[in-house]
Amino acid sequence: MKAYYKDPLLVRAIEAHKKIVTEGENVNLNSIGYEEGTPINHVYTYNAIMILGKLKFPHNEATQTESDSTKFLEELAKSETDVESIINRLIEYRNQIVNP
């Protein structure tokens, strides 16, 4: 699990996703590595797919914007402040849906 904490792309994606979820249309895209004018829904979708994909979620859960996993990621992004706890909770959730 520690490898996930050290993955700079994963950590940046989670931090960016937290900003997108909490700030919405007001997010400064440059501050999270995107060009101004990029549609926020594209950035949101890309980050969600990347985060869930990097954490090895099932393909259908990682790529569907309305999946339960994407919704759970959004809840965590709103409520959790620590990237490590978001990763831990997502992995626990993934393990529940993969091995019910």
pLDDT tens-digit map of 37-84: 899 999 999 999 999 999 999 999 999 989 999 999 999 999 988 999
Cβ-count burial of 55 within 10 angstroms (0-12 exposed, 13-18 middle, 19+ buried)? Answer: buried
Reported as a pLDDT band with limits 50, 70 and 90, residue 99 is: confident
Q: What pLDDT is recorded for position 1?
A: 61
The CA-to-CA distance between both ends of the chain, in Å, stands at: 20
- Give percent of the chain with pLDDT exceeding 70: 98
The answer to whether 66 touches 7, Cβ cutoff 8 Å, is: no
Helix (H, G, I), strand (E, B) or coil at 82: coil
Reported as a pLDDT band with limits 50, 70 and 90, residue 100 is: low
